[in-house]
Amino acid sequence: MGVPKTRREIPLTPLSFPTVGSMGRTGSWRTFRPIVDYSKCTRCTLCWIYCPDAAISRRDDDSPEIDYDYCKGCGICANECPVKAITMKREEE
Amino acid sequence: MVTIKELPKEEYLLKGHAACAGCGPSIALRLLFKALGNKVILVVPACCTTVIQGPYPFTAFAVPLQNMLFEATGAAASGIAAALRIRGLEDVTVVGWAGDGGTVDIGIQALSGAAERETNFIYICYDNEAYGNTGLQRSGATPYGAWTTTTPTGKKERKKNMPFIMAAHRIPYVATACPSYPLDFVNKLRKAKEIKGTKYIHVLTPCPTGWRYDASKTVEIGRLAVQTGIWALYEIENGKFRLNPPSDRLIDKSKRKPVKEYLTMQERFRHLTEADIEKIQRWVDEDWEYYQALTSMERCF
Amino acid sequence: MARIVIDTANHIAGYAAKAARVKVVAAYPITPQTTVVEKIAEFVETGEMDAEYIRVESEHSAMAACIGAAAAGVRTFTATSAHGLALMHEALHWASGARLPIVMVVVNRAMGAPWSIWPDLSDSLSQRDTGWLQFYCADNQEVFDTIIQAYRICEDERVFLPAMVCLEGFILSHTYMPVKIHDQDEIDAFLPPYKAGWILDVNNPVTHANLVSPEWYMEFRYKIQEAMENAKKLIPEVDREYGKRFGFEYGGLVEKYQCEDAELIICTMGTMGAEAKIAVDNLRKEGLNVGVARIRVFRPFPIEEIRRLAKQARMIATIDRHISFGMEGFLASEVKASIYPLNDKPLVAGFIAGLGGRDVTFKTIEEIAKKAWKWLDTGVVKKETVWVDLRE
């Protein structure tokens, strides 16, 4: 659904449509970013289920794919990983 | 018994939403959709979730969502449930999704009314123990001793026991949950969906912004809440009380971690004295004696 | 089959909700509305009315439940009075902002403190800013007909706003009058199945009413104002069509009686409008050219009709069953506001009468008219607002 530009385009009452990035590119909130060591990863999928932002998706082999456009860097994935395969690294910028 | 990997991959809470980093309620929301799918209509009163949606014309929610007046979750859900029943849409689940303030304080009347009328819906109170949306003022669900912006020297009163209040309405299903135990929550949601009538689930959702801990600890703190016995996982099904794992093993006090471990992880409890902590420990121990008695009863409500 | 029933306006409102094929009623009892919902409960439980009656635990919840049901796709109805209406105030705003065509009967009753169960129009008039259409009825037949008309107007895609149908407590609510209940097939032909401008639907998920920034909020409010303007045009059309089909019509926005050659027009609302007709007949026997303009629709306010009447008459006397403390009666204010742009303005005198159920008979109105007429002769309105029959 496009962003309205004129009054004619808005609905009769505010109706909003499902959008990835409804709050923008929330990855820009980050101070630290999670880095996955796939050699340690046991594909338990706990990081996937615990991510508050749904920024981690499951690859076909159940290893995590982190979407850095939206990851806020909370660090829950790193904290919960049972084998410490995820580390939090400071953003360079 | 489902496993985490068996949970569906589809997301109905879309990434890029407005929640704080490390938001406990957001984890609970994702689990809601993992459990129920997208044939749900959400009723959301004023609460953190109002803001999590993001601003018009966007929303992070891929299910129909009715934003609602603060007091009125139970009432609006009653209206939606009636309309769906009349239209023959039996496979759509009405879910009231409200914060603790909108449940135990301003929303309690509408919820109580909906329950007494046996409204067919699932009501979930996601409890971050304060009015998060408006900047962390105390609610009736704020625990004793917690700092909030309106209880800067610590709340003097105890937390309202909302699950028991709901059980006293004799609704068919009451449960507590915590997103740190995701499968327990998912199973309870799926069970609730199959029951006709009012189902109430109270999920403790740690909040880094309000409880003052590092955002990465959300799941860990939820786990500690359960392990110390401060938060018990249980169901009250048709009046029968039953503790769920791992809480079922915590009737034995020696198996419970001391509450101090949980409290000292959160800045909101920083000013508690030893005497306060002892008091809290004693209350928890009393609660568990009560749970033990309830477990042995045929029916408690 | 059309038939005549002899019943109270409250019961008639129940008949109308049934005839309108309302599917969800959510209501909470309050004097003098109670017999509306009792009648509906009877209809629902005997199976005469195919609807669900949600016996909510407060009026605020009543409106919230109606909002939920309307958003989920069914025609809804509720009724209340006074403090019940006041309690649902924020929900009234929500319903109109949500553009949901809910119809609510307001059995007008005075506000406390102190408690009063008797009628005046303070309750509904103090909600005039909430974006609801407001109709004021003068008899039980009009109650029935206006409820049916209201659904037709509210569910029109040019409107999609909720409506209050107001009737005075005890004067109409509990008074028996003969009313023609029209043939159901005819009513179905006049009032098509429920339609709203949007719906909660799992196949097309939307989020309704999340945060709107200053970038767009004004435009959404403007749309509500546009809808009100559309309603102003549509209401007389619907009334005329209804009149052709069913034989009853009410003058659209304003019911005029003997206004064509009137020098003094009494402008009032509700049952005072009916009493005023008798007063006008009596006054004319005494040689006074008086007419009555009964404001049937207060929102949208019939600005253009008032201007037309103002051009004909030399004076307008408004009778308000209401006072806006610190100002005057709303009818007086809004009439004056409507005629302000005219170069030649009639005199306007405001009268406050009937608060808390004090009786306003045709005799009272004759006295009001005679007082106004004295000022008309001198060309000076001695007192802008007169409280009628006030004890010393």
Cα B134–chain centre separation: 19
Confidence of residue C81 (pLDDT cuts 50, 70, 90): very high
Contact C375, C382 (CB under 8 A): yes
Q: Is the pLDDT of residue A2 over 80?
A: no
- Give the three-class secondary structure for B51: helix
Residue B90 inside a domain? The answer is yes
Whole-prediction pTM value? 0.97
Tens of pLDDT, residue by residue over B233-261, are: 999 999 999 999 999 999 999 999 999 99
The per-residue pLDDT for A1 is 56
Confidence of residue B301 (pLDDT cuts 50, 70, 90): confident
Tell me which H or E stretch contains A34: strand A32-36
Q: Which domain holds residue B171?
A: 7-296
Using a pLDDT cut of 70, give the percent of chain C over it: 100
Compute the 3-state secondary structure of chain B and give helix, strand, coil in percent, each to the nearest 5: 40, 15, 40
Half-sphere exposure of C39 (CA within 13 A, CB side): 20
Cα A18–chain centre separation: 16
Two structure tokens written together for C2: 């059309």
Residue B157 inside a domain? The answer is yes
Confidence of residue A92 (pLDDT cuts 50, 70, 90): confident
Contact C9, C135 (CB under 8 A): no
Residue B5: closest C-alpha in chain A: A45
> Between β-strands C176-181 and C3-8, what pairing exists: parallel, antiparallel or unpaired?
antiparallel
Using a pLDDT cut of 70, give the percent of chain A over it: 97
> Could you give the CA distance from residue C387 to residue C392 in angstroms, rounded to a whole number?
11
> Could you give the CA distance from residue C335 to residue C350 in angstroms, rounded to a whole number?
10
- Classified by CATH at the fold level, domain C3-246 comes out as Rossmann fold (3.40.50)
> Between β-strands B234-237 and A32-36, what pairing exists: parallel, antiparallel or unpaired?
unpaired
Contact C315, C347 (CB under 8 A): yes
Report the gap between the CA of A41 and the closest CA in chain B (Å).
Answer: 15
What is the tally of structural domains in chain B?
A: 1
CATH of C254-387, one of 3.40.50.920, 3.40.50.720, 3.40.640.10, 3.50.50.60: 3.40.50.920
* Bigger pLDDT: B301 vs C301: C301
Where in chain B does DSSP place strands (E)?
40-45, 58-59, 65-68, 93-99, 121-127, 173-177, 198-204, 234-237, 240-243
Tens of pLDDT, residue by residue over B7-52, are: 999 999 999 999 999 999 999 999 999 999 999 999 999 999 999 9
Tens of pLDDT, residue by residue over C244-253, are: 999 999 999 9
**Residues 85 through 104 of chain B touching chain C, CB cutoff 8 Å:** 85-87, 92
Q: Respond yes or no on whether the N-terminal peptide bond of residue B246 is cis (omega within 30° of 0).
A: yes
Of residues C208, C209, C194, the one with CA closest to residue C103 = C194
Two structure tokens written together for C10: 């409250």
CATH number of the structural domain spanning residue B116: 3.40.50.970
Contact C88, B110 (CB under 8 A): no
Compute the 3-state secondary structure of chain C and give helix, strand, coil in percent, each to the nearest 5: 40, 20, 40
Cβ neighbour number for residue B56 with a 10 Å cutoff = 26
Return all residues near B133 (Cβ < 8 A) that are at least 6 apart: B46, B47, B48, B50, B51, B99
Q: Is the pLDDT of residue C206 over 70?
A: yes
At position B67, the amino acid (one-letter code) is N
Two structure tokens written together for A1: 């659904």
Residue B43: closest C-alpha in chain C: C68
- Taking an 8 Å cut-off on Cβ atoms, the answer to whether B56 and C74 are in contact is no
Which of the residues A3, A5, A8, A12 would you substitute to probe the C interface, choosing the one with the greatest number of C C-beta atoms within 10 Å?
A12
Return all residues near C116 (Cβ < 8 A) that are at least 6 apart: C109, C110, C356, C357
The per-residue pLDDT for C196 is 87
Question: Cβ contacts (< 8 Å) between C65 and chain B: which residues?
Answer: 75-76, 78-79, 82
Residue B151 inside a domain? The answer is yes
Question: Cβ contacts (< 8 Å) between C220 and chain A: which residues?
Answer: 10, 13-14
- Give the three-class secondary structure for C318: strand
- Taking an 8 Å cut-off on Cβ atoms, the answer to whether B18 and A23 are in contact is yes
Cα B167–chain centre separation: 15
Where in chain C does DSSP place strands (E)?
3-8, 24-26, 52-54, 76-80, 103-108, 133-136, 163-168, 176-181, 207-208, 254-257, 264-268, 290-295, 297-299, 315-320, 347-352, 385-387
Strand partners, C77: C25, C103
- Taking an 8 Å cut-off on Cβ atoms, the answer to whether B5 and A45 are in contact is yes
- Give the three-class secondary structure for B137: strand
What does R_g of chain A's alpha carbons equal in angstroms?
Answer: 17
Residue A4: closest C-alpha in chain B: B57
DSSP state of C298: E
* Sign of the C-alpha dihedral computed for residues B118, B64, C159 and C294 taken in this order: positive
> Could you give the CA distance from residue C211 to residue C29 in angstroms, rounded to a whole number?
34
Q: Is the pLDDT of residue A40 over 80?
A: yes
**Do C254-387 and C3-246 have the same topology in CATH?**
yes
Of residues B29, B65, B43, the one with CA closest to residue B185 = B29
Partner B contacted by C209 (CB < 8 A): yes
C350: left (phi over 0), alpha (psi -120 to 50) or beta: beta
Tens of pLDDT, residue by residue over B174-199, are: 999 999 999 999 999 999 999 999 99
The per-residue pLDDT for C179 is 98
Residue B37 inside a domain? The answer is yes
Two structure tokens written together for B120: 């067919």
Residue B253 inside a domain? The answer is yes
Tens of pLDDT, residue by residue over B118-168, are: 999 999 999 999 999 999 999 999 999 999 999 999 999 999 999 999 999
Provide DSSP, C61-118. HHHHHHHHHHHTT--EEEEE-HHHHHHTHHHHHHHHHTT---EEEEEE----SSP--S
What CATH architecture is A26-90? 2-Layer Sandwich (3.30)
Compute the 3-state secondary structure of chain A and give helix, strand, coil in percent, each to the nearest 5: 20, 20, 60
Q: Respond yes or no on whether the N-terminal peptide bond of residue B57 is cis (omega within 30° of 0).
A: yes
Interface of A with B (CB under 8 A): 1, 3-4, 14-26, 29, 44-46, 48-55, 57-58, 62, 67, 69-70, 72-76, 78-80, 88
> Between β-strands C76-80 and C297-299, what pairing exists: parallel, antiparallel or unpaired?
unpaired
Two structure tokens written together for B2: 């489902």
Report the gap between the CA of A37 and the closest CA in chain B (Å).
Answer: 18
> Could you give the CA distance from residue C87 to residue C78 in angstroms, rounded to a whole number?
14
Q: Crossing angle, helix C362-378 and helix C271-285, to 10 degrees?
A: 60
> Between β-strands C347-352 and C315-320, what pairing exists: parallel, antiparallel or unpaired?
parallel
Q: Crossing angle, helix C217-246 and helix C140-154, to 10 degrees?
A: 130
> Could you give the CA distance from residue C296 to residue C2 in angstroms, rounded to a whole number?
25
Contact B79, C27 (CB under 8 A): no
The per-residue pLDDT for C195 is 86
The shortest CB-CB distance from A49 to any of B22, B182, B218 is to B182
Contact B16, A21 (CB under 8 A): yes
Strand partners, A89: A33
> Could you give the CA distance from residue B52 to residue B54 in angstroms, rounded to a whole number?
5
Please give the ipTM for the structure prediction.
Answer: 0.97
The per-residue pLDDT for A93 is 57
Of residues B66, B82, B25, B76, the one with CA closest to residue B202 = B25
> Could you give the CA distance from residue B155 to residue B148 in angstroms, rounded to a whole number?
8
Tens of pLDDT, residue by residue over C85-126, are: 999 999 999 999 999 999 999 999 999 999 999 999 999 999
Using a pLDDT cut of 70, give the percent of chain B over it: 100
- Give the three-class secondary structure for C295: strand
Contact C270, C298 (CB under 8 A): no
Q: Is the pLDDT of residue B78 over 70?
A: yes
Half-sphere exposure of B245 (CA within 13 A, CB side): 5
Domain spans in chain C, listed from the N-terminal domain onward: 3-246, 254-387
DSSP state of B131: B
Q: What is the mean pLDDT of chain C?
A: 98
